[in-house]
Structure 1
């Protein structure tokens, strides 16, 4: 069984530390996604696993082997990069089998492995073509096929869809999910796109500034975030955050909405500032009220997003469905079930539970 364990993994560039003691276990066969904003360290961490970056401290185990000091070729991993990196003068079959050829694998075995990878990726009819005769999505499938034929213990994907247009990104997300189901290998995938993370992952690792903020299943992170950062990063559109003030046991004032909400008394020890988190899909608009003004609407067909400006300048996004939707300039009230609200400490940003 081939999983992966990071124990206190640290990366330094001179005196600058960019990865801060990562402890993480990825089980055999899991699809794990590293997600976070640019500069959070997700690609650096992936490259440490691949052996393309030296691990300054800590250990990396793949299966039962300590691979911390091993060369990339000895780790049993295959990596798919953001760029396809295909040889333009070689056919699809030659590109996919090139690594095996360089390692002296017999021609018949190469042909068998390339044929199997082509079947999985639906590239059978393109094996004799060269990269210039393929679409972007097909080229990326060839790059994935090149990884498959090596039979790695762990697949590593470094933002493989970022160069594709929106339609191809959706198509390739489905292809990668199907690939994982078919071959059942351990996969680690890096992206800054939380939609990709939510739709692909068994386990999401949310990173910020070289540290893990939270690890969990996609819906667990969405429904039960540990802090304001995770709550705002997971979910599209992002969660709305409004200033709040504890008024007393079981009451929090929300000045932007000119009202107080009832919350569990255990969350309201003493008095103090809090942040109230509300997801757009948990809000409703009432055109008989005047909490806010509709500044912009995004009509996406089955759903619209109304961008609101409250009296104090606070901004919110509310999801709308149905036939009757607001227009720019409308004054509206915002309704919601207080049980849907999440509270965060205004200073530490930790979730109040």
Structure 2
């Protein structure tokens, strides 16, 4: 079994603490994605698991064994980096088998392992080529193949698609999902792209400033976020947040011409400020004086995104799957069902339930 457990894992650089007591369990065979904005600590946490960063305090276990102070080479992990880190003078075949060669594996065994990895990654036609003769996506597949031949307990991916163009990112995302399905290994994947997180993960860990904000399946985080940060980070385009105030047991939203929202959540005291969140696909617009202006329409084929500006300056995005009917600059009324609203404490940003 190759699960990964972190118990109060802490990382300090001198007096600066960047990972703050992280507790996490990743089950055997899970595809776990660390996601969050730049500087949140996701790559540092991954490197701590890999043994490339020393753990200042706490414990890291892989497969039930404490590896907190075990050398990186003995942890049974293989890491795929953002940069491909291929040897330019070696062929694909030599790059993939180099680590095994350095560890004294027999040539026949190296050839068998490289051949199997090549089959999985569809690299058979490129084995005799050197990296300069490969596309970015092919080079990244070679880097993944180099990890596969080691037969690790855990695969670690540090933003492996960041250097690829948009089309290749989609292709490689599918390749990695297929790879996980075929070999069934535990995989931990770091990205700042929440679309990658949603499409790849069995479990998502949302990080901010070295702390875990929430852990769950993609749809759990999407449908039931614990706070405003998770609600805004998971989902594309992100959730709309509008200022509201509690009045008479309802939520009044000034930017929507004082619309009253009914809810069964426990609201704070009368007059308290709260935030109301609604996802773009749960909103509609129609012509009328509703206190908002259609500022810009972004057309993406089968779907468009309408960017609105409310009277108080709040920005709102509405997903539109209808034919264009309203010109930019139109005054609009925003529609949505009260049941699709989420509410957050204006100070703590925690979800009201």
Preserved CA contact (<8 Å) 2:197 2:218? yes
Q: Which residue matches 2:74?
A: 74
| Equivalent residue number for residue 346 of structure 2 | 346
The answer as to 2:21 corresponding to 1:21 is yes
Which residues of 2 match residues 145-294 of structure 1 at below 5 A? 145-249=145-249, 251-258=250-257, 259-264=259-264, 266-294=266-294
Give the 5 Å matches for 1:51-90.
51-90=51-90
| SS, match of residue 235 in structure 1 | coil
Q: Give the match for residue 333 of structure 1.
A: 333
Q: 1:13 Cα deviation (Å)? A: 0.4
Cα distance in 1, alignment partners of residues 188 and 8 from structure 2:
18
| Deviation (angstroms), 1:314 | 1.1
For residue 132 of structure 1, give the secondary structure of its aligned residue in structure 2: helix
The aligned runs of 1:129-144 (5 Å cut-off) are 129-144=129-144
Partners in 2 of 1:325 and 1:214 — Cα distance? 40
How far, CA to CA, are the matches of 1:176 and 1:169 in structure 2? 10
**1:306, 1:326 within 8 Å by CA — same for their partners in 2?**
no
Give the whole-Å Cα distance in 2 for the aligned partners of 1:95 and 1:270: 66
What's 1:11 paired with?
11
Partner SS state of residue 182, structure 2:
helix
Q: Distance in 1 between matches of 2:48 and 2:75?
A: 11
After superposition, give the CA deviation of every residue in 1:246-269 in whole Å (9 maximum; x if it has no partner).
0022x1000000111111163355
For 1:327 and 1:42, locate their aligned partners in 2 and report how far apart those are by CA, in whole Å.
Answer: 43
* Separation of aligned partners in 2, 1:154 and 1:164: 24
Aligned residues: 352
Instruction: Describe the shift of the 1:290–1:271 C-alpha distance in structure 2 as closer, same or farther (beyond 3 A).
Output: closer
Q: Is the contact made by 1:242 and 1:277 (CA closer than 8 Å) also made in structure 2?
A: yes
Q: Do the aligned partners of 1:293 and 1:308 also contact (CA within 8 Å) in 2?
A: yes
**Partners of 1:229 and 1:219 in 2: CA distance:** 16
**Which stretches in structure 1 are left out of the alignment for 5+ residues?**
none
TM alignment of 1:81-120, pairs within 5 A? 81-120=81-120
Q: CA–CA distance in 2 between the matches of 1:51 and 1:211?
A: 20
Contact 1:248/1:268 (<8 A) preserved: no
1:297 is matched with which residue? 297
The structural deviation recorded for 1:8 is: 0.3
Alpha-carbon shift at residue 342 of structure 1 (Å): 0.4
CA contact (8 A) 1:246 1:271 kept: yes
Q: Aligned with 1:99: secondary structure?
A: helix
Query: Residue 322 of structure 1 aligns to a residue in which SS?
Result: coil
Q: How far did 1:220 drift?
A: 0.6
Partner of 2:126: 126
8 Å contact kept, 1:275–1:344: yes
Give the match for residue 314 of structure 1.
314
Partners of 1:206 and 1:215 within 8 A in 2: yes
Give how far 1:290 is off. Answer: 3.1
**3-state DSSP of counterpart to 2:266:** helix
Q: Report how far residue 271 of structure 1 moved.
A: 3.6
Task: Report the Cα distance in structure 1 between the residues aligned to 2:287 and 2:122, rounded to whole angstroms.
Answer: 52
Q: Which runs of 4+ in 1 moved over 6 A?
A: none
In the TM superposition, residue 325 of structure 1 has moved relative to its aligned partner by 4.0
Q: For residue 10 of structure 1, give the secondary structure of its aligned residue in structure 2.
A: strand
Name stretches of at least 5 consecutive residues in structure 2 with no aligned partner. Answer: none
Greater CA deviation, 201-210 or 310-319? Answer: 310-319
Query: What do residues 149-176 of structure 1 show as CA deviations (whole Å, max 9, x unaligned)?
Result: 0000000000000000000000000000
